[in-house]
Structure formats: structure tokens, C-alpha cells
């Protein structure tokens, strides 16, 4: 393996492969392992499970307004200020409490079962209003101004509890934010009422595609114009709650340029299959397979402008950065007592610079990434340009988020590698911040 390590199968390889097939069979028969095998086949089919999209409710336009409602850009922020306002303090504290008391204890099982308890999803909607906080009051929501920083603080606080569950909770919020920011009066009247009540549908903004070097500005999923609307074709990857979602916002290339389309999951040609991943498993990620899916002309969001699409990508990168900051803080707060209590060679391991400096660097990089994320969010809600700042928040959390996740495991040594401690889950979750596009649109 002195360099590129690729060899063809030779005679020995052929023999080994055959032996492997035979021995697996004989082992099963000799030790009566038929049941585990059947179970493995069952698990295999479950991940391979493919079904038509969920279809529960009918979305219909009610009380349509003459023009769409938009939250106003935030104004009057003259001074540099890191203090959240009173409303933000309240909602952040409530979210943090919810995360610590409800999400963290549920995280292990939610990760194992690839599902977030419906009770937690409901509470995030009813008690925290995650789907309505950014929706203007005249549309039944709680906001009047853009709320990107509030969204950032909420995402961060939720991910402090658990990133996977946070993603499951925030996925519908991504759709309600997209409708608020870019929906026309018909789209808003048709879909938003469902997101401001207590019975919020599962929904997600689906952008990511299963391809190496994925670029959200060069999509393989296509939208083709028809007489009455568009036909969508392609595959979307790692869509949260895909199997139960009732509404998607799908990124697809229209005339070679990326755009967003509303898609009800019951539409003919929509299929979903489970796609569990390295992390954020509680979000019940799945693939969304679109084959000759017909949507009406009114499905195109934001007029299909390049700026709408770019803003969606940028806002979701801020969202993933915020999630990574929350999980990164969870790592920091977890390793501090551990390294202070764990002794080796007669004293706490934190008395050693090799350990202490790792903790210091977690603190330094986390704070830097958090400030960059907040700057991007604050610029976005003030109507300033924020492409650069969103990219920076993304880069910092991709780079240092993973480093923090890795060092979190490293600081616990072998104990960090086993599931008695949450750091191995955070390691898996934090990789998502570099991979995922869409979903958490703030």
C-alpha cells in the first residue's frame, strides 16, 4: 500500500470469496443462526424499503390575501452587540431547557431506532413554535420581522440536546420559512395555515443529491416545462422524515438553472426509501425518488429566480452551522468534567497540556465559528449581503465542527468510542454540517 491501492481479484481472491460464501452458510447451519440471518435480511429490506410518499391531508387555499406577506428586514441595529433581545432570551432559554430535559435523554434511543418520538416533535411545535416563529402574524405566525438570528439561537439550543432530533423538529420549519420568504399569495394561503397550527405536517426542503462532490448549484434533478406546469425527475438524498412527510420543497434544475418546487408527497411518481446515515439518524433520513412527477405551474417557488435559490442555500448553511455550534457546545460541556475527573498517573488528565490544550482549542474554534454564524444570520435578517458570511460559517463548522467531534471522542479515549457516552454520536452528527444542504432554512 505504498501508494494507490488497487488490485484486481486474482486466483487467491477468487478462492477467498468462494470460501466466504461457503463458510457463512455452514456457520448458519452448524450454529442454528438462521434467525439472525433472517433478521439481517429483514433489516436489509427495511433500508431498501420503498413506498409511495405519505399522503394524509389535502392542502387547499383558504382566505387568500391579495399579495403575499413578507416579514420586514430588521432595522435599527447600529451598534455591535452580542446580547440577544428579550424575546430571543426567552425563547432560547425555553429551547435550551427543552433540549436538556427532553432531547438529550431521548437522543440515544432516537439514534438507535432512526426515529424521533412523535411527542417530542409535537412539543417542539406546540411549546416552542418552531414552525411559526418566523411566519408573519397576518399569516397566523408569531413574527413581524425576519428572524434569522432567532432561528440560529433556537437551532443551536436544540442541537445542544441532540442534532438528529433537532433536524427532525426543524425540517417543517424550513418549509414554513421558505413559504414565508418566497411563497406567492396562493402558495402561502394553501400551505402555511398547516404550519401555524398544532398539527404541523412533516415536511422538508430537499436539496442534497447522492453524488460525490455534490454542488447544489449544479443539480442532477430536473424540472421540465409542460403545458400545465412541470415534470420533476431525479433523486434527493438524506431528506429528514421522508417517509412521513406530506410536503416537500424540492430543488431541481429548470432550464439548466436551480429552482425550488413545492411537491405534495401524495403526487403520483413520488417514492421514498429509507436512507439511514452515519449520523442525524433521529431525523429518519430517506431518499426521495422522483420519476416523471407532474406538478402544477403554481409549484414553482419564488418565481424561480437565481437569488431566491441562492438565498435558500445560504440560509440553510447558516442553519447547519448553528446546529454544529450547538452540538459542539455539548461536546465542550461534556468533556470538561470528564477530563477533570478522570485520573491517570496520579492526577486528573486535565492537568496535562496535551489534554488541556485540546479543550482550549475546542473552546476557541467553537466561539469563532459561533460568532461567524451569528454574523451571517444578523446580516441576512437585516437585508444585507451574506453570501460570504454564510460560506464562512459553513467552512468553519465543517472544518472545526468535525475536529471538535473527533477530539470529543479522543479525550474520552476508549470510553468515547462506546455508546455509554454521547460523544461518539456527536462525532457522527457533526460530520453532517459539511455534507448537508437545504433542510434547516432559517
Residues that bind other proteins (CB under 8 A): 76-85, 88, 149, 213-218, 310, 313-314, 332, 336, 339-340, 348, 350-351, 353, 356-357, 359-361, 363-365, 367-369, 371-372, 374-375, 377-379, 382, 384, 387-392, 395-396, 399
Nearest Cα neighbor of 434 from 411, 403, 388 is 403
Residue in the structure block whose three cell numbers are 457533526 = 430
Nearest Cα neighbor of 442 from 381, 361, 359, 386 is 381
Kindly state the smallest distance separating residue 212's Cβ from other proteins, in Å: 9
Kindly state the smallest distance separating residue 229's Cβ from other proteins, in Å: 28
Kindly state the smallest distance separating residue 402's Cβ from other proteins, in Å: 13
116's grid cell:
424521533
Closer residue to other proteins, CB minimum distance, 189 or 207: 207
Closer residue to other proteins, CB minimum distance, 33 or 435: 435
Kindly state the smallest distance separating residue 303's Cβ from other proteins, in Å: 19
Closer residue to other proteins, CB minimum distance, 155 or 192: 155
Helix pair angle (402-412, 423-430), 10° resolution: 160
Closer residue to other proteins, CB minimum distance, 238 or 374: 374
Kindly state the smallest distance separating residue 178's Cβ from other proteins, in Å: 17
- Evaluate whether 283 touches 164 at the Cβ level (below 8 Å): yes
Give dist(CA 87, CA 33) in Å, integer.
58
Closer residue to other proteins, CB minimum distance, 2 or 83: 83
The DSSP bridge partners found for residue 272 are 51, 288
Give dist(CA 329, CA 14) in Å, integer.
50
Helix (H) or strand (E) holding 288: strand 286-296
Residue 200 has what DSSP assignment? Answer: P
Give dist(CA 356, CA 118) in Å, integer.
40
Kindly state the smallest distance separating residue 267's Cβ from other proteins, in Å: 30
Nearest Cα neighbor of 203 from 10, 439, 442, 395 is 439
Kindly state the smallest distance separating residue 77's Cβ from other proteins, in Å: 4
Closer residue to other proteins, CB minimum distance, 386 or 426: 386
DSSP string for 305-348: -HHHHHHHHHHHHHHHHHHHHHHHHHHHHHHHHHHHH-EETTEE
Give dist(CA 259, CA 312) in Å, integer.
10
Amino acid at each position: 500500500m505504498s501508494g494507490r491501492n488497487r488490485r484486481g481479484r486474482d486466483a487467491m481472491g477468487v478462492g477467498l470469496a468462494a470460501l466466504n460464501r461457503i463458510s457463512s452458510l455452514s456457520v448458519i447451519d452448524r450454529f442454528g443462526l438462521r434467525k439472525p440471518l433472517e433478521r439481517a435480511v429483514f433489516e436489509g429490506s427495511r433500508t431498501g424499503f420503498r413506498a409511495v410518499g405519505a399522503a394524509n391531508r389535502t392542502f387547499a387555499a383558504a382566505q387568500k390575501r391579495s399579495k403575499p406577506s413578507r416579514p420586514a428586514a430588521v432595522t435599527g441595529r447600529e451598534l455591535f452587540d452580542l446580547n440577544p433581545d428579550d424575546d430571543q432570551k426567552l425563547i432560547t432559554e425555553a429551547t435550551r431547557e427543552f433540549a436538556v430535559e427532553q432531547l438529550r435523554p431521548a437522543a440515544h434511543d432516537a439514534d438507535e431506532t432512526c426515529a424521533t418520538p412523535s411527542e417530542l416533535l409535537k412539543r417542539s411545535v406546540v411549546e416552542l413554535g418552531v414552525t411559526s416563529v418566523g411566519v408573519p402574524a397576518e399569516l397566523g405566525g408569531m413574527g413581524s420581522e425576519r428572524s434569522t438570528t432567532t432561528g440560529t439561537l433556537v437551532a443551536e439550543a436544540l442541537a445542544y440536546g441532540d442534532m438528529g432530533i433537532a433536524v427532525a423538529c426543524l425540517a417543517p420549519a424550513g418549509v414554513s420559512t421558505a413559504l414565508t420568504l418566497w411563497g406567492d399569495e396562493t402558495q402561502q394561503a394553501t400551505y402555511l395555515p398547516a404550519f401555524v397550527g398544532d398539527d404541523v405536517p412533516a415536511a422538508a426542503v430537499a436539496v442534497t443529491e447522492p453524488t460525490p462532490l455534490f454542488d447544489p448549484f449544479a443539480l442532477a434533478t430536473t424540472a421540465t416545462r409542460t403545458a400545465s406546469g412541470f415534470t420533476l425527475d431525479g433523486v434527493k438524498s438524506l431528506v429528514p422524515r421522508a417517509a412521513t412527510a406530506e410536503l416537500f420543497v424540492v430543488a431541481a434544475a429548470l432550464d439548466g438553472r436551480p429552482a425550488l418546487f413545492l411537491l405534495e408527497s401524495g403526487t403520483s411518481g413520488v417514492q421514498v426509501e429509507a436512507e439511514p446515515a452515519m449520523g442525524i439518524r433521529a431525523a429518519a433520513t430517506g431518499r426521495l425518488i422522483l420519476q416523471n412527477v407532474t406538478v402544477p405551474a403554481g409549484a414553482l417557488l419564488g418565481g424561480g429566480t437565481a437569488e431566491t435559490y441562492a438565498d435558500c442555500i445560504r440560509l440553510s448553511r447558516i442553519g447547519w452551522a448553528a446546529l454544529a455550534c450547538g452540538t459542539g457546545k455539548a461536546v465542550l460541556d461534556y468533556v470538561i468534567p470528564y477530563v477533570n475527573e478522570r485520573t491517570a498517573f496520579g492526577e486528573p488528565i486535565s492537568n496535562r497540556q496535551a489534554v488541556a490544550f485540546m479543550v482550549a482549542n475546542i473552546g476557541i474554534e467553537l466561539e469563532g465559528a459561533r460568532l461567524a454564524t451569528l454574523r451571517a444570520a444578523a446580516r441576512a435578517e437585516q437585508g444585507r449581503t451574506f453570501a460570504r458570511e454564510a460560506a464562512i460559517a459553513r467552512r468553519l463548522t465543517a472544518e472545526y465542527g468535525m475536529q471538535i467531534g473527533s477530539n470529543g471522542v479522543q479525550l474520552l479515549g476508549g470510553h468515547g468510542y462506546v455508546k455509554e457516552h454521547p460523544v461518539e454520536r456527536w462525532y457522527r452528527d457533526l460530520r453532517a454540517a459539511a455534507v448537508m444542504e437545504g433542510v434547516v432554512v432559517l
